[in-house]
């Protein structure tokens, strides 16, 4: 597939079809993920592939996603936000549990931090996080080539998740990514229109 076509296709999907993903496609996407740039040349990344209901429930429990969401409360919370952002959150928040349950596979992306997050003082200390996100984008683009999409869920209770999944204490979780084929009527959210010319500055701002 054309490079531009893949870039154009990549999108966040939270509504998944009940259809298995070929293991070879996921393995190839991980191989492509490892072609991303790394700050220290070590590519200290690992991927946990989750498909069992038991493991998904561990994720849901750890992130306290069991409780139903009150949409009126959400509306209130985001009432002063930009419409485009509000629409995204109102669609996304109620789907956090379902997207994990429905996705045929959920990928936990693990990386080795340079400095613990609590001690990070400079942008430089976050190079490890910047690197793992370039790796995540390669992964998502590689899947998009096969019409498989994902949603990058950022866990809040990483200590509990690490314990439940046996992740070594010196490593961290960058994202939990439910992946799968999109249902036919999957919600397509409006993107903020960007005038590229306004965002390009020459020699100075
Ligand atoms: C750092 C980061 C954190 C995100 N966290 C979440 C999340 O916790 N849950 C979720 O449903 N989507 C999450 N998203 C997905 C964004 O909502 C999505 O990328 C955005 O709406 C743009 O849509 P697009 O990916 O289709 O271009 C996250 C994306 C990024 C880059």
Residue 67 above 90 pLDDT? no
Q: Is the CB of 152 under 6 A from ligand 1?
A: yes
The answer on pLDDT for 188 being more than 90 is no
For residue 205, being part of any structural domain is answered with no
Tell me, yes or no, whether 204 lies in a domain. no
Mean per-residue pLDDT of the chain: 95
Instruction: State the pLDDT at residue 178.
Output: 98
Going by alpha carbons, the residue nearest to atom 22 of ligand 1 is: 12
Residue 120 sits in a domain of what CATH number?
3.40.109.10
**Ligand 1 site, residue 154, Cβ cutoff 6 A:** yes
The pLDDT value given to residue 147: 97
Given this model, what pLDDT does residue 56 score? 97
pLDDT digits (tens, 9 = 90+) for 79-94: 999 999 999 999 999 9
Domain boundaries, position 29: 3-199
CA of 158 to the centre of ligand 1 (A): 18
Q: Ligand 1 centroid to 41 CA: how many Å?
A: 27
pLDDT digits (tens, 9 = 90+) for 29-58: 999 999 999 999 999 999 999 999 999 999
The Å distance, Cα 152 to ligand 1 centre, comes to 6
CB of 12 closer than 6 angstroms to any ligand 1 atom: yes
Number of domains in the chain: 1
Q: Which of 164, 158, 54, 41 is nearest to 110 (CA)?
A: 158
d(CA 110, CA 190): 30
Rg of the Cα atoms in the chain: 18
Within-domain flag for 167: yes
Q: Does the residue 187 lie in any domain?
A: yes
Cα 119 to the center of its chain, rounded Å: 24
């Amino acid at each position: 597939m054309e490079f531009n076509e893949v870039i154009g296709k990549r999108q966040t999907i939270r509504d998944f079809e009940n259809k298995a993903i070929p293991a070879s496609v996921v393995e190839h996407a991980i191989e492509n993920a490892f072609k991303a740039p790394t700050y220290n040349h070590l590519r200290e990344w690992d991927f946990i592939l989750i498909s069992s209901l038991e493991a998904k429930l561990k994720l849901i429990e750890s992130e306290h996603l069991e409780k139903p969401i009150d949409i009126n409360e959400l509306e209130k919370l985001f009432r002063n936000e930009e419409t485009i952002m509000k629409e995204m959150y109102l669609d996304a928040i109620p789907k956090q549990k379902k997207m994990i349950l429905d996705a045929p596979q959920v990928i936990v992306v693990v990386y080795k931090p340079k400095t613990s997050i609590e001690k990070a003082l400079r942008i430089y200390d976050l190079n490890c996080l910047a690197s793992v996100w370039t790796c995540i984008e390669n992964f998502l683009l590689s899947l998009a080539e096969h019409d498989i999409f994902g949603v990058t869920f950022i866990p809040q209770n990483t200590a509990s998740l690490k314990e439940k999944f046996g992740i070594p204490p010196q490593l961290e979780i960058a994202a939990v990514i439910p992946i799968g084929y999109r249902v036919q009527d999957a919600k397509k959210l409006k993107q903020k229109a960007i005038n590229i010319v306004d965002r390009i500055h020459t020699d100075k701002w």
